[in-house]
Structure 1
């Protein structure tokens, strides 16, 4: 099933290279209005991100689109948004960012989507809990330090596409059930009810990387997603099936600046989910939906630049990295327990971050070694390619908050010349126990990561990037809505373990 391939763009604005497309993003209210006329748009959809990291939206008709919309904004009820306002302070404003506008390829009605910033209508200032505002403040702080002018991020978001998912829990029962024709567990299933006999070719557990079709049944879906992303100005470099059975995928976007990449992550998730739905399937960025196979991560490649110079490169340095790069890594490793509260922010994240299994829980740096938390990719010796890959985050993260937090940790490492320790270029999983005990690890639960954030957040407060209000709200929300709600409910496996005690 093919997606619509209408190229979006305007004759005025900022050009963005996207593979074979040259997408021109508008840079003003007039340019947005020109884009609306050019594509005969009928609806404008205003999108913004709640505190946990899910896109919210509402739509307006064309008579409501004028210069005042982009200057003064439009009102909405902030008390109905997770992590935002209380009922007595509910009035909030959305201010559309013209540079984010794109013709929405997932809507049948001609629709222009615009990402918005959230504004406090009383103070007439950006809202302190708006995740996008925090990302922008982080970029401003970077420039103020004089260390660099730009931070680039290149996240690798993995995700699953299932045929269907069922789940539920009440006071006396609980279950989940995943359906996937690719699942290794379906080799013996009579699939007559699914439109034919069992066709075999199921990727075995941990063997989904990189068999061709017919093992890989999702090639066309991923291609449609990739081309649709390029259509809206998000450049894609590669896509492929990932390690796990049952439809694990990865589509890699070309790196971009911190806030722009966080915008791109939101577009990526939106298009993946909606394209899967067009095919009658369902996409999920939940880190660990399957037992006994690989989970989904979001390895984050990052580097600091001053204008056109990559500050992480040194031809004489270890792994071609500069001292500044290694200090940045030192900051990531030092603050990693607190970072996980934003980078691995769900209870399910810690089903992935289990010592001795596939996820990188070990707080060490290495070149090439995927068992270390901080890795220096060695595919190229080009100065422009030198970067650090921080491998602990997962795609359940709010990208605005996670990217900002990682960069702030790295900057703190530079400012305090934090030593990341000696490179660990061996397989950490095979270290003798006495050596393994010396390697620090990320926390083993969301509760522990939140406690680490509570104890260690001064580095986030620099430049007023993360406010105390934001951090306190995040801690309270996560503890009440997620940690406690999981702790209060019996797990199905506990019946197996303990019913006969």
Structure 2
């Protein structure tokens, strides 16, 4: 849509407020609102000023003024805020009008531009499968003298012996641990809510392929998004999370994209299906392993080679690595396979249609900033193609049936966020090409995640430590 068409849309839908949205450096969606009368065609060039010093990892107080510049192609009418149109924005310096290096959306734009500049492809498409939990209630706190969390779900195993009344009263259909995949109602008590989410998403311009209950108990869900180009896929994922959370909130529920909220049950990932395209044709289909082209295998090689480093963006929380443990669906071996879901990269089985050929990256999760995570993946894949990185032998066996020692030489995912940050510190030259990431972006990310995540958790007593050590 053009700026003029946006203004016409506002008149058609009786819009009275414009919500300007952008993502901060850590990956939190931010916004402020202006009256519709303030928005003009020039606004899409001139932007609106705001204080960037209040955003973690951005400007100092003496250089705080920055601009948000609305992007007309991102417009949608908000289904939760009356008479409100939402616009995603780019961040610019108000003096030089240069796009801000630490604006995550700008990083994704530069990754897309660099992809085109290589001549390898003119488009990369991402099909996203975000998983999340829908809980009835949550309580948590961390103070000087206490630290706890408490989750409630009517469908959880822990609810079976608890008396309750109403539409979700105990009828004996609670889902057992690890048995949450594809149950029908009344066991799947959240089907109608997911339908509401799907319809709200569709009405807001997000193309949905399917939704279903996931493996874990406690209301784990998955809603799959159709393949879209890099920047559009990241924009739509932010819209997706906003809509899903608000639909749940209206129903008196709470949604979390935290990777591992439940101990001993499956965590939530963000599986990403990737494919490269040029002149409207896929570059991934050929007669190689799993029906892939040599170019696709080299792309996988680059991602696997740089995986420990890019996981600092794809799995950016301390909680992410509680999901990446043995015994669950989340992969801990950096290898690939046709059909095998226990590998870090899976080549799906599908129809003979060449255009559906892709591979699925399985270690990312939805705590990530999608602009930074997807950009890092693109840069790793391009490095693999440019340097013809061999992905090594596939893992076609069930890892849970292997003999002890069979995977000793297989590279593993980092065991913690600080290890992933160490990997990023040692291996990030490939991210700097085309000025996609800058040294400042890398350094700020490592500093922020070390101080705000790693150090914060390391310094606090954990409730489990009281179970283990209080009577020592």
TM-score, normalised with respect to structure 1: 0.93
Task: Please tell me whether residue 354 in structure 1 is matched to residue 325 in structure 2.
Answer: yes
1:249 to 216, 221, 229: 221
- Aligned position for 2:380: 409
- Aligned position for 2:147: 174
1:124 to 82, 86, 97: 97
Q: 1:53-452 alignment to 2 at 5 Å?
A: 53-107=27-81, 109-192=82-165, 197-314=169-286, 316-452=287-423
Q: Show structure 1 runs of 5+ residues with no match.
A: 1-25
CA deviation vs aligned residue, 1:338-368 (integer Å, no higher than 9, x gap):
0110000000001001134331111111000
Conserved 8 A contact 1:320-1:381: no
Conserved 8 A contact 2:168-2:189: no
Conserved 8 A contact 1:331-1:409: yes
Q: Please state whether the residue corresponding to 1:92 is helix, strand or coil.
A: strand
Task: Please tell me whether residue 489 in structure 1 is matched to residue 460 in structure 2.
Answer: yes
Larger deviation, residues 341-350 vs 228-237: 228-237
Q: Please state whether the residue corresponding to 1:177 is helix, strand or coil.
A: strand
> Structure 2 CA distance, aligned partners of 1:250 and 1:86?
40
CA deviation vs aligned residue, 1:218-276 (integer Å, no higher than 9, x gap):
11111111111111211001000111111000000101000000001000000000000
- Aligned position for 1:22: none
> Structure 2 CA distance, aligned partners of 1:126 and 1:43?
26
CA deviation vs aligned residue, 1:181-228 (integer Å, no higher than 9, x gap):
111111010114x67752221111011111101111111111111111
> Structure 1 CA distance, aligned partners of 2:438 and 2:326?
33
> Structure 2 CA distance, aligned partners of 1:378 and 1:73?
46
2:441 to 464, 470, 474: 470
> Structure 2 CA distance, aligned partners of 1:333 and 1:429?
21
Alpha-carbon RMSD:
1.1
**What's the CA shift for 1:317?**
1.4
- Aligned position for 1:44: 18
**What's the CA shift for 1:138?**
0.4
Q: Name the count of aligned residue pairs.
A: 472
Conserved 8 A contact 1:330-1:410: yes
> Structure 1 CA distance, aligned partners of 2:297 and 2:417?
27
TM-score, normalised with respect to structure 2: 0.98
**What's the CA shift for 1:336?**
0.3
